[in-house]
Structure 1
Amino acid sequence: MKLTYPLLLNAKLQDKPYKLHDRDSMYLRVSVSGSKVWKLDYRLDGKDCSHTLGRFPDLSISDARQRRNDAARLVASGIYPKAYEKQRQLQTITHNKNTFWAACEDWIEDNRDRRSEYYCWQAVRFLSRYVKDSPLGKMPVRDIKVAHVYDLLQSIAKRKVLAREERKAEGAPHIAIRLRQHLDAIFRRAIISGRVDANPVAALKPSDVVTLPPTRHNRALEANELKHVLAAFSVTGTELTRLAMRLLLLTSVRTVELRGATWGRSTWNPPYGPSPASA
């Protein structure tokens, strides 16, 4: 009987499992519950064995025959197809655990409780953008050489290829330097965990891959100019923004600390008498 798709699809249930034979010891086994599985019978080491090729209709007739041919070649070489598949699965799992991106993920998790929220956010952002979906991220971490890291940092510094959310075509040397710092830390951790024996990033100084533009300092405001700026604060922006700008002028605090400040009560306990506000 020649097996066809309609014949297999409409195969009726029976009181016990039965087989619809194809050729070369391959057949479709129809169970009492209605499942239909491609099987291959073979003999190896003096034992009669059966190997599951896949389910119908997920696995078509032609694809099942191709898998049958692959399995037959293994049997001819003295290899059990099921053992071969398990070995391949283990190799795939091992490979995925030792890719460069897997090393990045482990480093990110290690630093969540050690670093600030902003630092972790920035590291995840840069690594996800430039490493995760790149060929480098899928490579075994042991296979990564200095040239791979150099090419990655150069592509960022000179912006050869625009990433998903890049808004400008100019290079990003500062991002390249920051990413180099993250990669250096990742490889140092990979050495400790036994994933690699050497750190390819250590051979690259920032000056080897990045030429930073000259620093441009903003001009200091004169007293009369500062008066106009203060006057502008009273009519522009929200009240919260105006308060933040005045606090910045009074304290010269870093902007990241200003943005992260809360309205909680002060816990300042001066060693010599009360604070000026309570005096």
Structure 2
Amino acid sequence: MPLTDNGCKNAMPDPDGKIRKMSDALGLSLWVMPTGRKYWRMKYRHSGKEKLLAIGVYPETSLKAAREKRDEARLLLAEGTDPGAKRKEEKITARIAAVNTFEAIAREWHDKESHEWHPAHAANVIAAMERHIFPAIGARPVSEIKPLELLEVLRRVESAGNIDTMKRLRQRCSGVFRLAILTGRCDSDPAAPLVGALKTQQSEPRKALKREDIPEFLAALDRYDGTRQTKLMMEMMLLTFTRVGEMAAARWSEINFDAALWTIPPEHRKLTEKAKKTAPPHLVPLAPRALEVLRELSQISGNREHIFPNRNEPSRPMSPETLRRALHRMGYKGKADIHGFRSTASTILNESGFNPDAIERQLAHAEKNEVRAVYNRAEYMDERRAMMTWWAAYVAGQGEGGKVIPFPSRAA
């Protein structure tokens, strides 16, 4: 006799402590365990063997639902498929999919790559993925994600105005998919074809001083009412046109007054963490005026490790942000930035006839050929010394009303 809802609900365990099996129809039965728990089971035959299929737990799986699952299993049997074997296959597939989700592989990719990154950068990378990518596709099997699906996610970031973030996310997603391809977990990179479908950031050139702006800038620096250390740091930036991070991190141990040379170690240079391990230091010839500035600074901070110590925490270097704020107080907000000093010097030195290769070496622009980069670290040093001396005199001349400084001979 078929089971009823009330019969299933009121079924009690066998008083003898055995499993009570209550038959429904077409192989379905409800098993009442000695503990009172109730399970649906289906008896069937496949390839001449009698088998048992777990259907569900009562009452989570109702009588109606159990019958529907039984009927689905019978359809599989009619097609020649073993429903029990299919169930096992689906579980294996689900288990594999669970470890091959986009998020799982993205975290694997992050672990693999981040040992070459600065810890703060590594934290920012995974935080951006957690904020923008994982909520949308993190739980999806990586092999099932399509370009259109990823495009929708990236366009949400794009529409919020975060074009640079979107661009970086696409690149990082591409890295995740490439890892999945190399490890046999997907066949294609759906991030690759999206380059043409997304906006590109319209980069703005650094705001740099023009030749005619320098006299007024020097006058504004002279009027600046901030600390002497900040004023001298600003002047050193103009005289050496190094990167502000290199200047802020400078230590007295890097300065050789006798050789008139500043040796910037690779760990302070603008390089990837991997490149810093093998890159040479950057050598900066120091003009006489730069040495004068450093000697004055030694009276201010000579007993400290850093040339520009932090005012509140003297054991740490001054923040590069200090120079940006000083530039704003001088009236140059939106008109010039610190990094623009490099562009200003490069433009004027090129226009004045200096060797472009020597200028590039002074700017420490990356050399694509690693062997040549090691060889070139001191190349053009004589030209660079003459150039830096001319540049310091040129800057001083602009403070004296634009005095003309003759171009030095190549033999100088």
For the superposition of Structure 1 and Structure 2, which TM-score range results when normalised by the shorter chain?
0.5 to 0.7
2:88 aligned with 1:90: no
Percent identity at matched positions?
A: 24
The whole-number CA distance in structure 2 between the counterparts of 1:53 and 1:95 is 23
**What is the RMSD of the two structures over their aligned residues, measured on CA atoms?**
4.2
Describe how 1:239-254 pairs up with structure 2 within 5 A. Answer: 254=245
Query: Is there any run of 5+ residues in structure 1 with no aligned partner, and where?
Result: 160-170, 232-244, 259-265
Task: Using the TM superposition, give the Cα deviation of residue 212 of structure 1 relative to its aligned residue in structure 2, in angstroms.
Answer: 2.2
Query: Where does residue 409 of structure 2 map in the other structure?
Result: none
Q: Taking structure 1 as the reference length, what is the TM-score of the superposition?
A: 0.68
Q: Supply the AA of the counterpart residue of 2:3.
A: L
Query: Where does residue 134 of structure 2 map in the other structure?
Result: 132
Query: Where does residue 7 of structure 2 map in the other structure?
Result: 7
8 Å CA contact 1:154–1:209 kept in 2: the answer is no
Helix, strand or coil at the partner of 2:115 = coil
2:184 aligned with 1:194: yes
CA distance 1:267–1:34, shift in 2 (3 Å) = farther
8 Å CA contact 2:39–2:58 kept in 1: the answer is yes
Task: Using the TM superposition, give the Cα deviation of residue 17 of structure 1 relative to its aligned residue in structure 2, in angstroms.
Answer: 1.9
Q: Deviations over 1:7-55 (max 9, x none)?
A: 3233222212222222222111112232211111222222222222111
Task: Using the TM superposition, give the Cα deviation of residue 209 of structure 1 relative to its aligned residue in structure 2, in angstroms.
Answer: 3.0
Q: Supply the AA of the counterpart residue of 1:8.
A: C
Q: Please list every run of at least 4 consecutive aligned residues from structure 1 whose deviation after the TM superposition is greater than 6 angstroms.
A: 218-221, 248-252, 266-273
Out of 49, 59, 62, the position equivalent to 1:60 is 62
8 Å CA contact 1:136–1:148 kept in 2: the answer is no
The whole-number CA distance in structure 2 between the counterparts of 1:225 and 1:180 is 47
The whole-number CA distance in structure 2 between the counterparts of 1:272 and 1:230 is 24
The whole-number CA distance in structure 2 between the counterparts of 1:272 and 1:215 is 35
Helix, strand or coil at the partner of 1:41 = strand
The whole-number CA distance in structure 1 between the counterparts of 2:150 and 2:20 is 58
Query: Where does residue 303 of structure 2 map in the other structure?
Result: 277
Task: Using the TM superposition, give the Cα deviation of residue 191 of structure 1 relative to its aligned residue in structure 2, in angstroms.
Answer: 3.8
Query: Where does residue 178 of structure 1 map in the other structure?
Result: 168
Helix, strand or coil at the partner of 1:209 = coil
Tell me which of the two structures has the higher relative contact order, counting C-alpha pairs closer than 8 angstroms and 6 or more residues apart.
2
CA distance 1:69–1:199, shift in 2 (3 Å) = closer
Task: Using the TM superposition, give the Cα deviation of residue 69 of structure 1 relative to its aligned residue in structure 2, in angstroms.
Answer: 0.9
Work out which of the two has the higher radius of gyration on C-alpha atoms and give 1 or 2: 2
Helix, strand or coil at the partner of 2:116 = coil
8 Å CA contact 1:173–1:211 kept in 2: the answer is yes
CA distance 1:129–1:72, shift in 2 (3 Å) = same
Helix, strand or coil at the partner of 1:50 = strand
Q: Deviations over 1:187-246 (max 9, x none)?
A: 34334323445545455659963132535749979337731x559xxxxxxxxxxxxx99
CA distance 1:63–1:218, shift in 2 (3 Å) = farther
8 Å CA contact 2:142–2:177 kept in 1: the answer is no
8 Å CA contact 2:142–2:180 kept in 1: the answer is no
8 Å CA contact 1:39–1:50 kept in 2: the answer is yes
Query: Where does residue 223 of structure 1 map in the other structure?
Result: 221
The whole-number CA distance in structure 1 between the counterparts of 2:5 and 2:182 is 56
2:108 aligned with 1:110: no
The whole-number CA distance in structure 1 between the counterparts of 2:9 and 2:111 is 49
The whole-number CA distance in structure 1 between the counterparts of 2:111 and 2:40 is 43
Q: Deviations over 1:78-107 (max 9, x none)?
A: 222211101111222333343433331221
Q: Taking structure 2 as the reference length, what is the TM-score of the superposition?
A: 0.48
